[in-house]
Amino acid sequence: MRIKLTSLMVDDQDKALAFYTDVLGFRKKHEIPAGGYRWITVVAPDGPGDVELSLEPNANPAAKTFQQAMFAQKIPLAAFEVDDIESEYQRLKARGVVFTTPPTPMGPVTLAVFSDTCGNLIQIYQPQR
């Protein structure tokens, strides 16, 4: 077994693709029509080229409820490692990204949390060296 794919529900696949590529710097890998929706995957800018993140529609009403509740409770649904959280924070803020938590040391990492404009809070973290 290997982890080759992880997924995030998004409330708008077009917006999600734009945010994850234009703002976060991910690269689109696949975009294929699938049952009235699209199978969209992206690859992280600094990670291996064959580990994909799928941006799936939150069409299921239970998924919507879950996603909105997690958001309101400020619980992030994915976490990405970064090399320099302070400069990433400044870069994203300059792009209009809304942070719910600025870079904050928490245990073994410094973390920050922002909205991906598609219904999710996303955590970025830099391990303490």
Partner 1 sequence: MREREPAFDRLCRSRELLHADCAGALPLARLAAEARMSPWHFVRRFEALFGSTPHQYRIRTRIERARELLAQGTHSVTEVCFEVGFSSLGSFSDLFTRRVGSTPSAYRRAARVQVSMPGTLPLRMFPGCLSLMALLPADAWRNFREAPRAPGG
Per CB under 8 A, residues contacting partner 1 are 7, 9, 11-12, 15, 19, 27, 29-30, 32, 34-37, 39, 43, 48-50, 54, 56-57, 59-64, 68, 71-72, 74, 96, 98, 100, 115-119
- What CA–CA distance (Å, rounded) separates 17 from 42? 8
CA dihedral 27, 22, 91, 43 (to 10 degrees): -20
Q: Closest distance between partner 1 and the C-beta of residue 54, in Å?
A: 8
Closest CB to partner 1 among residues 32, 129: 32
Cα within 13 Å of Cα(1), Cβ side: 1
Q: Closest distance between partner 1 and the C-beta of residue 102, in Å?
A: 13
- What CA–CA distance (Å, rounded) separates 7 from 29? 14
Joined together, the tokens standing for residue 65 give 């409820």
Closest CB to partner 1 among residues 41, 126: 41
Partnered with residue 27 across adjacent β-strands are: 43
Q: Closest distance between partner 1 and the C-beta of residue 108, in Å?
A: 26
Partnered with residue 37 across adjacent β-strands are: 34
Closest CB to partner 1 among residues 39, 80: 39
Q: Closest distance between partner 1 and the C-beta of residue 40, in Å?
A: 9
